[in-house]
Structure 1
Amino acid sequence: MDVIVTPTPKLQGELQALSSKNYTTRYLLVAALAEGTSTIYYPAHSEDSDAMRRCIRDLGAIVEEDDEKIVITGFGRNPKPVKELDVGNAGAVLRFLMAIASLCPDVTFINRYPESLGKRPHDDLIQSLISMGVSIEHREGKLPINIKGGSPKGGHIQVSGNISSQFLSALLFLTPLLAEDSEIEVLHDLKSKVVVGQTLEVLEQAGIVIHADEDYMRFRVPGNQRYAAKTYSVQGDYPGSAAILAAAAVTESDITVHRLVENSKQGERAVVDVLRMMEVPLSHNNDIVTIKGNGKLKAVEYDGDNATDAVLAMVAAAVFAEGTSRFYNVENLRYKECDRITDYLNELRKAGASVEERQSEIIVHGRPEGVEGGVEINAHFDHRVIMALTIVGLRSKKPIRIRDAHHVAKSYPIYFDHLKALGAQVEWVEAGQGE
């Protein structure tokens, strides 16, 4: 399905922020790794969290659900032997479960998205698991990946952190269950340290003890630990809300978003600070963000490494800012569902934006007068690109058509419903229809 975004001068209304995808997938996993029954209130519903639900069920967890909560009876350190796991297009779910699957005798992760997740590299985690005595067959670090495990060994483990922090998080979920104590040493640089903080926060809530150096480059993990069955409550999602807040910033708006925790460990909460730097009129009190936008923004310079999943929305806002904005230290955007620098900027240019790229930077020459639009653009099957391109369409002079916009469901299935509720003119059309 495609979406046609028609220029919309004004947004108005109130929303409850979607529940956090990152926290939901982590809570689902620690509940599955516990012996006993855990309850997760307000879980996210998205393709990523659904992939984790599906896979932990396949691995032997009992998963029961109603409108408010999920109740999970875990499999502890003994997942059920399973031949295949299908993570869909969810990279974090794949990487976390590659580590857990090393407790199984023979599992193959299948490749259902050869043009997206199927292109992403996982070599760094593969090398770490092999060093722990796990046998892995793969195609140059990419799916399909076959893991022959059963008895991974702890000890001194090295993992590279310069492509993704998800490899480290995967090892942090696995190593407490092993017989031996472990020391995890992070090589090179560590990207997205804030997200590692979320993993550690969830592990601590699940009763796991991990001793982390302050810079997150070395971790000491006692072995023979057990995950505790607990009750969790999922906070609102900043990465998805970033797109809503940026849409409000570029239009005449009066919107309120609830359930955005002020002291959240989500790095993307920085979108509030960045919009403030851009002189967007907003307040953030009692977990509520209110924006009364006037469409006027000032350029910013921002280190995007701590807020990776909000950078594309920030860039979309900067398209309409006065002056030149620079988002730096964002190279890991290249290793997502698509190359979120080259692919995204190519589509922005089609819509009329003036943007440049470096290996690890995005430079935006703002056009406060707006951009032309009137084009069809390709979102490269990437939910964050879809959301960000929609923001640009709201402020274009002519409508833009975003191909395959249904892939927004990966993290925010009701994104367009929420925008419509605020007054945005967005319309679903069948691919090929009206062309």
Structure 2
Amino acid sequence: MDVIVTPTPKLQGDIQALSSKNYTTRYLLVAALAEGTSTIYFPAHSEDSDAMRRCIRDLGAIVEEDEEKIVITGFGNRPRDVKELNVGNAGAVLRFLMAVAALCPEVTFVNTYPDSLGKRPHDDLIDSLRQLGVTVNDNAGKLPITISGGNPKGGRITVSGNVSSQFLSALLFLTPLLAEDSEIEVLHDLKSKVVVGQTLEVLEQAGIKIEASDDLMFYRIPGGQKYEAKTYRVQGDYPGSAAVLAAAAVTESDVTIHHLEEKSKQGERAIVDVLRMMEVPLTHENGDVIVRGNGRLKAVEFDGDAATDAVLAMVAAAVFAEGTSRFYNVENLRYKECDRITDYLNELRKAGANVEERQSEIIVHGRPEGVEGGVEINAHYDHRVIMALTVVGLRAKKPLRILDAHHVAKSYPIYFDHLQALGANVEWVK
């Protein structure tokens, strides 16, 4: 399904932020790794979180759900012997479960999205799992991947943090369950440290003890631990809300998004600070972000490493800012569902934006007068690209047609419903 985005000068109304995808997938996993019954209130519903639900069921968790909560009886450190797992297009779910699969005799992760997740590399995690005594058969670091484990051993482990922090998070979920104590040293740089902080926060809530260095580059993990069955509440999602806030910023608006904690550890909370830097009129108090946009924005410079999943929305806003914006330290955007630098900027140029790329930077020469639009856009099956290109379409002079826009469901299935509720002129077409 495609979406046609017709220029929309005004947005107005209130919406409730979706629950956080990142926290939901982590809570689902720690609940599955617990012995006993856990309850997760206000879980996110997206392709990623649904993939985690499906896979922990396959691994032996009992999952019961109603409109408000999920109740999970976990399998602890004894997942069911399954031969195959299908994570769909969910990279974080794949990587977390590659580590958990080390507790199984043999599991093959299949490749159902060869043009997206199937292209993403996992070599760094594979190297680390082999250090634990796990046998891994892979396709040059890519799917399909077979994990032959059953009895992984703790000890000293190294993992590269250059490409993704998800490899480290995967090891942090696994190592507390091993009989031996473990030490993890992160090599090179560590991308998205804020997201590692979310993993550590959830592990602590689940009763797991981990000693982390201040720079998050070294960890001591006692072995023989057990995850505790707990009750969790999922906070609102900043990465998805970033696109809605950017849409409000580039139009004349009076938009309120509820359920966004001011003190959240989500790095994408920075969207609020960046829009303030761009001189967008907004307030943030009592969990509500209120944007009263006037369509006028100033250029910014921003280190995007800690707010990876909000950068594309920030760039979309900067397309209409006065001056030249620069988003730096964002190379890990290249290793997502698509190359979110080259692929995204190519589509922005089609719409009429003036953008440049470096290996780890995005430079935007703002056009406050707007962009031409009137073209078809390839979003490369990427939910974040779809959402960000929609923001640009709202301020273009002619409609944009975004191909395969249904892939927005990976993280925000009702994104276009929310935009329509605010008055955006968006229409699904076959």
TM-score range, shorter chain: over 0.9
Q: CA offsets, 1:130-182, max 9 Å, x none?
A: 11100000000000000100001110000000100000000000000000000
1:221 maps to what in 2?
A: 221
- Counterpart CA distance in 2 for 1:118 and 1:152 is 26
Once the two structures are TM-superposed, the CA of residue 100 in structure 1 deviates from its matched residue by 0.1
Q: How does 1:136-155 map to 2 (within 5 A)?
A: 136-155=136-155
Secondary structure class of the residue paired with 1:269: helix
CA RMSD of aligned residues (A): 0.2
1:291 maps to what in 2?
A: 291
Secondary structure class of the residue paired with 2:156: strand
2:234 maps to what in 1?
A: 234
Secondary structure class of the residue paired with 2:356: strand
Give me the TM-score of the superposition, normalised by structure 1.
0.99
Q: CA offsets, 1:325-373, max 9 Å, x none?
A: 0000000000000000000000000000000000000000000000000
2:112 maps to what in 1?
A: 112
- Counterpart CA distance in 2 for 1:253 and 1:23 is 30
1:63 corresponds to 2:63 = yes
Q: CA offsets, 1:290-335, max 9 Å, x none?
A: 0000000000000000000000000000000000000000000000
Once the two structures are TM-superposed, the CA of residue 234 in structure 1 deviates from its matched residue by 0.1
Q: How does 1:349-364 map to 2 (within 5 A)?
A: 349-364=349-364
- Counterpart CA distance in 1 for 2:143 and 2:331 is 22
Q: CA offsets, 1:375-417, max 9 Å, x none?
A: 0000000000000000000000000000000000000000000
- Counterpart CA distance in 2 for 1:44 and 1:138 is 31
Instruction: Count the aligned residue pairs.
Output: 430
Q: CA offsets, 1:207-243, max 9 Å, x none?
A: 0000000000000000000000000000000000000
Secondary structure class of the residue paired with 1:199: helix
Extract structure 1 runs of 4+ deviating beyond 6 A.
Answer: none
1:433 maps to what in 2?
A: none
The one-letter code matched in structure 2 to 1:221 is: I
Once the two structures are TM-superposed, the CA of residue 422 in structure 1 deviates from its matched residue by 0.0
The one-letter code matched in structure 2 to 1:393 is: G
Once the two structures are TM-superposed, the CA of residue 24 in structure 1 deviates from its matched residue by 0.1
Q: How does 1:355-394 map to 2 (within 5 A)?
A: 355-394=355-394
- Counterpart CA distance in 1 for 2:32 and 2:233 is 16
Percent identity between the two aligned chains: 84
Secondary structure class of the residue paired with 1:254: strand
1:92 maps to what in 2?
A: 92
- Counterpart CA distance in 1 for 2:90 and 2:401 is 25
Q: CA offsets, 1:51-70, max 9 Å, x none?
A: 00000000000000000000
Give me the TM-score of the superposition, normalised by structure 2.
1.00
The one-letter code matched in structure 1 to 2:362 is: I
2:279 maps to what in 1?
A: 279
- Counterpart CA distance in 2 for 1:193 and 1:317 is 25
1:266 maps to what in 2?
A: 266
- Counterpart CA distance in 1 for 2:292 and 2:298 is 16
- Counterpart CA distance in 1 for 2:143 and 2:361 is 29
Q: CA offsets, 1:85-109, max 9 Å, x none?
A: 0000000000000000000001000
- Counterpart CA distance in 2 for 1:109 and 1:31 is 21
Once the two structures are TM-superposed, the CA of residue 14 in structure 1 deviates from its matched residue by 0.2
Once the two structures are TM-superposed, the CA of residue 112 in structure 1 deviates from its matched residue by 0.1
2:34 maps to what in 1?
A: 34
Q: CA offsets, 1:27-46, max 9 Å, x none?
A: 00000000000000000000
- Counterpart CA distance in 1 for 2:230 and 2:106 is 30
Secondary structure class of the residue paired with 2:146: strand
The one-letter code matched in structure 2 to 1:40 is: I
Once the two structures are TM-superposed, the CA of residue 129 in structure 1 deviates from its matched residue by 0.2
The one-letter code matched in structure 2 to 1:116 is: S
- Counterpart CA distance in 2 for 1:270 and 1:180 is 39
- Counterpart CA distance in 1 for 2:193 and 2:153 is 26
1:123 maps to what in 2?
A: 123
Consecutive unaligned residues in structure 2, runs of 5 or more: none
Once the two structures are TM-superposed, the CA of residue 22 in structure 1 deviates from its matched residue by 0.1
Q: How does 1:164-175 map to 2 (within 5 A)?
A: 164-175=164-175
- Counterpart CA distance in 2 for 1:111 and 1:139 is 11
1:304 maps to what in 2?
A: 304
- Counterpart CA distance in 2 for 1:180 and 1:341 is 42
The one-letter code matched in structure 1 to 2:273 is: D
2:43 maps to what in 1?
A: 43
2:205 maps to what in 1?
A: 205
Once the two structures are TM-superposed, the CA of residue 115 in structure 1 deviates from its matched residue by 0.1
Once the two structures are TM-superposed, the CA of residue 119 in structure 1 deviates from its matched residue by 0.1
- Counterpart CA distance in 1 for 2:131 and 2:239 is 34
Secondary structure class of the residue paired with 1:322: coil
Secondary structure class of the residue paired with 2:63: strand
Consecutive unaligned residues in structure 1, runs of 5 or more: 431-435
1:186 maps to what in 2?
A: 186
- Counterpart CA distance in 2 for 1:110 and 1:250 is 41
2:397 maps to what in 1?
A: 397
Secondary structure class of the residue paired with 2:103: coil
